[in-house]
């Protein structure tokens, strides 16, 4: 395959459009939402009108007919300004709508996708549990079939987009049976918001991503029709391994955006801030920091675009997705730390975007597979089973 990851004219037009939206609409407003820990409904609605939630889906389901590369481009440009808005889009598409599109029946697709693609509703993905994070196979939530219904009991935690006023559904993984040797059969089931017994907790108090929605969910004898099974019974774990592989590309694009945003803000500051009678950017120590930050963001961009290109062309991409996610999240943390250092005391003030970026960066080494999990996946793809 070609390693030329320069954008097509169509993708470049999308990039410019989202860049303009991020700077003109998101940047002036998001700081206030962030400080109030408030979900930015008006910004999300505008993203829906732009078609961002439908980027990688076919037009027949209300999508824009694009691809995963287009989604990554949008995520990177948004995250250059703010990660709360970017993760709302990432989770809404990669974790909310993509499972329905990839594994749903035709009826499920037509019922849910048009509204998710338009941003009218958000979908969420309920995998993580209080005692089951990286070990997704340790799921304790259960779903027992009683007649024509599934009865769900359990708890999920750290679920993005699960408690907003426009959340329409949460797809949850649950144990629906056991194999002959006692291993759990994990299935995926769609639970519409407002279903009796489905309780959404108050938002978490978080270090970062403060303008995004993250909640704990509980299910107490929640009953949904058997038709809400997503894909084959017992295949939920395999389904979401695939979804997480794809999602790592999206997180890598988001992390790249944050890393580049740190460069943008630090370069601007280094040209404007004066010390000892001259701009601090005249100092070689600052120049070298910025050069290293730019190098890392550039390489991160190549990594996620390579993985996305492989996905789009139907090639194997598991290792490349893990490589991209591992590298990009590390770079995001590194650049956020250096950006704060370049800004000095101002970098510790929330009025400066780098303060948000510093707070938002760390979760990128944890969510959708920790850095340790990425190293495990990479080693396995290299033939080291362990």
The two domains 9-122 and 124-232 share their CATH topology (first three levels equal) = no
- pLDDT reported for residue 134: 64
pLDDT tens-digit series, residues 270-294:
999 999 999 999 999 999 999 999 9
Residue 5 has pLDDT above 80, yes or no: no
Residue 219 has pLDDT above 90, yes or no: yes
Least confident of 124-133, 163-172, 332-341: 124-133
Please list, residue by residue across 233-245, b when 16 or more beta carbons sit within 10 angstroms of its beta carbon and e when fewer do. Answer: bbbbbebbeebbb
Please list, residue by residue across 12-51, b when 16 or more beta carbons sit within 10 angstroms of its beta carbon and e when fewer do. Answer: eebbebbbebbeebbeeebbebbeebebbeebbeebbebb
pLDDT tens-digit series, residues 358-371:
999 999 999 989 99
Residue 133 has pLDDT above 80, yes or no: no
Reading the block at residue 64, the tokens are 């824009």
* Three-state secondary-structure class, residue 274: strand
pLDDT tens-digit series, residues 292-334:
999 999 999 999 999 999 999 999 999 999 999 999 999 999 9
Residue 1 has pLDDT above 60, yes or no: no
Chain mean pLDDT for the chain: 95
How would CATH label the architecture of 238-381?
A: Up-down Bundle (1.20)
pLDDT tens-digit series, residues 104-123:
999 999 999 999 999 999 99
- pLDDT reported for residue 182: 83
Residue 2 has pLDDT above 50, yes or no: no
- pLDDT reported for residue 4: 62
Instruction: Please provide the CATH number assigned to the domain covering 124-232.
Output: 2.40.110.10
Confidence of residue 160 (pLDDT cuts 50, 70, 90): very high
Q: Which fold has domain 9-122?
A: Butyryl-Coa Dehydrogenase, subunit A; domain 1 (1.10.540)
The catalytic residues are 368
- pLDDT reported for residue 180: 85
- pLDDT reported for residue 113: 98
pLDDT tens-digit series, residues 76-108:
999 999 999 999 999 999 999 999 999 999 999
- pLDDT reported for residue 208: 97
Residues 6+ apart with CB under 8 A from 89: 47, 52, 53, 74, 75, 78
Residue 31 Cα distances to 23, 215, 312, 360, angstroms: 13, 21, 35, 13
Strand 122-126 with 167-178, pairing? parallel
Q: Which residues pair with 187 in a beta bridge?
A: 174
Q: What predicted TM-score, i.e. pTM, was given to this entire model?
A: 0.95
pLDDT tens-digit series, residues 15-74:
999 999 999 999 999 999 999 999 999 999 999 999 999 999 999 999 999 999 999 999
- pLDDT reported for residue 131: 84
CA pair distance 266, 283, nearest whole angstrom: 13
Of 211, 256, 249, whose CA–CA distance to 76 is shortest?
256
- pLDDT reported for residue 386: 65
Confidence of residue 357 (pLDDT cuts 50, 70, 90): very high
The percentage of residues in the chain with a pLDDT greater than 90, rounded to a whole number, is 92
Q: How far is CA 72 from the centre of its chain?
A: 10
Extents of the domains making up the chain: 9-122, 124-232, 238-381
Residue 161 has pLDDT above 50, yes or no: yes
């Amino acid at each position: 395959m070609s390693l030329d990851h320069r954008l097509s004219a169509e993708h470049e037009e999308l990039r410019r459009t989202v860049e303009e939206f991020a700077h003109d609409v998101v940047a002036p407003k998001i700081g206030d939402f962030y400080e109030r820990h408030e979900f930015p409904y008006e910004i999300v609605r505008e993203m829906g009108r732009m078609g961002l939630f439908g980027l990688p889906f076919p037009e027949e389901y209300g999508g824009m007919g694009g691809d995963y590369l287009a989604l990554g481009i949008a995520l990177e440009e948004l995250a250059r300004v703010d990660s709360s808005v970017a993760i709302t889009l990432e989770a809404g598409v990669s974790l909310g709508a993509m499972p329905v599109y990839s594994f749903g029946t035709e009826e499920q697709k037509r019922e849910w996708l048009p509204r998710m693609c338009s941003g009218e509703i958000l979908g969420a993905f309920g995998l993580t549990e209080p005692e089951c994070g990286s070990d997704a196979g340790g799921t304790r939530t259960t779903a027992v079939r009683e007649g024509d219904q599934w009865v769900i009991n359990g708890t999920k935690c750290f679920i993005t987009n699960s408690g907003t006023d426009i959340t329409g559904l949460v797809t949850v993984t649950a144990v629906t049976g056991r194999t002959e040797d006692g291993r759990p059969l994990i299935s995926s089931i769609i639970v519409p918001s407002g279903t009796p017994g489905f309780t959404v907790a108050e938002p978490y108090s978080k270090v970062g991503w403060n303008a995004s929605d993250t909640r704990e969910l509980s299910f107490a004898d929640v009953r949904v029709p058997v038709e809400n099974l997503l894909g084959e019974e017992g295949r939920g774990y395999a389904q979401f391994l695939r979804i997480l592989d794809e999602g790592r590309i999206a997180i890598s694009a988001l992390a790249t955006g944050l890393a580049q945003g740190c460069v943008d803000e630090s370069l601007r500051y280094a040209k404007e801030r004066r010390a000892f009678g001259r701009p601090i950017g005249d100092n070689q120590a600052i120049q070298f920091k910025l050069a290293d930050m730019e190098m890392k963001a550039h390489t991160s961009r190549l990594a996620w675009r390579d993985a996305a290109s492989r996905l789009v062309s139907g090639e194997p991409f598991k290792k490349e997705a893990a490589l991209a996610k591992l590298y990009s999240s590390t770079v995001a943390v590194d650049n956020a730390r250096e950006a704060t250092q370049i800004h000095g005391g101002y970098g510790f003030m929330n009025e400066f975007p780098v303060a948000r970026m510093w707070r938002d960066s760390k979760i990128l080494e944890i969510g959708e597979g920790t850095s340790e999990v990425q190293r495990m996946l990479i080693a396995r793809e290299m033939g080291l089973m362990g």
